[in-house]
Amino acid sequence: MLYQNVCLEAISYTLPDEIVTSDEIEARLEPLYTRLKLPQGRLELMTGIRERRFWPPGMLPGEKSVESAEKALSAAGIDRRQVGALIHGSVCRDFLEPATACAVHHCLGLPEQCAVYDVSNACLGLMNGMVQAANMIELGQIRAGVVVGTESGRALVENTIRELNSNTSLTRNDIKLSIASLTIGSGSAAVVLCHRDLSRTGNRLLGGVVRANTDQCRLCQSGRDESADAQMQPLMRTDSETLMREGIAVGKLAFDDFLAELGWQRADINKTFCHQVGKAHQKLMFESLGLDPKIDYTTLEYLGNTGSVAAPMTAAIGIENGRLQKGDKVALMGIGSGINVIVLGLEWH
């Protein structure tokens, strides 16, 4: 995928106020830790995540998606009548039907002549949405698009704690499948893409690549669609070690494709923003890609794994903190269960 006419005009984020530390989660897991004689501090030690954040109980994801999208539209300064697509890309959504994007579109007051829909692809939903909006802009179908999403990790973490404490048949080996669920946090992000003729920033989205290895689609799975269950008690099982190994293998192939597609060398890349999983994953990924980890900007230490909003939210925070300089070539990378990979290239002005 190569784009001549697409600019990333604004990227924004919204964070929950409630902070939950890994130490607090371990304190709640005291029955499990006592029964299996597990040492305190292992959760942060294994993942590099000291805390994550949660939205208030009962909050619908669409509410915060409206807030993040309002911030992005305000920063972009684009006439809302120019917005031709509103894509909601998070795993979390308000209802099975209609699309969460419908309520967000309504609250934002966007045009009726606007494509409005949800995209679901585990941790890559927002990046998929960015590709779709960019394609529509490049084809001349729309002038601008908004991609937004909000992830809420409270239910998954709390239900995982409840399951680990109550199921006394679990062994040390069994609980490995639940560790990834305890790293999940909450957050919201929005991206405004537009045609370069509308852009005030000139921040070009140059293109990117996708790659999949669906032989590994069962390495990280929730149960059946818990959204259909009035009790809303999601659980997830993740073979973290195998998923990390296989994901990085697909990521390396995708990254080689990406360099060839954009005509870049590794040394051309000044900064990266990636999907946030854990410290071990980041270290192995950058070793595999042959990149210096110092060019990466991370938020996982204090936000945890925030799913589909992780990469764009981290980028928004990094940009806000002055991470990018004029002329930087930036790689935005995501590896999601499935396994799917997206790598996008930006030229920052």
pLDDT digits (tens, 9 = 90+) for 302-328: 999 999 999 999 999 999 999 999 999
| Higher per-residue confidence, 276 vs 289 | 289
At residue 224 the predicted structure's pLDDT band, cuts being 50, 70 and 90, is low
- pLDDT of residue 257 exceeding 80, the answer is yes
Q: What is the pTM of this model?
A: 0.92
Placement of tokens 């130490």 in the chain: 23
Q: Tell me: pLDDT of 238 over 90.
A: no
92, 123, 194, 220: the catalytic one is 123
* 97 catalytic per annotation: yes
Is residue 232's pLDDT more than 60?
Answer: no
Q: First vs last Cα of the chain: how many Å apart?
A: 21
From the list 231, 334, 292, 298, the residue with the least C-alpha distance to 49 is: 298
Cα–Cα distance between 58 and 56 in angstroms, integer? 6
- Does residue 220 or residue 142 have the better pLDDT? 142
Q: What is the pLDDT of residue 226?
A: 47
Tokens of 50: 């000291």
* Ordered domains of the chain (ranges, CATH): 204-347 (3.40.47.10)
Which residue is associated with the tokens 């601008």?
144
d(CA 52, CA 22): 8
**Is 7 a catalytic site residue?**
no
| DSSP type of residue 121 | B
Enumerate residues 6+ apart whose C-beta is below 8 A from 273.
Answer: 296, 297, 311, 312, 314, 315, 318, 330, 331, 332, 333
Tell me how crowded residue 121 is: count the other CB atoms within 10 A of its CB: 19
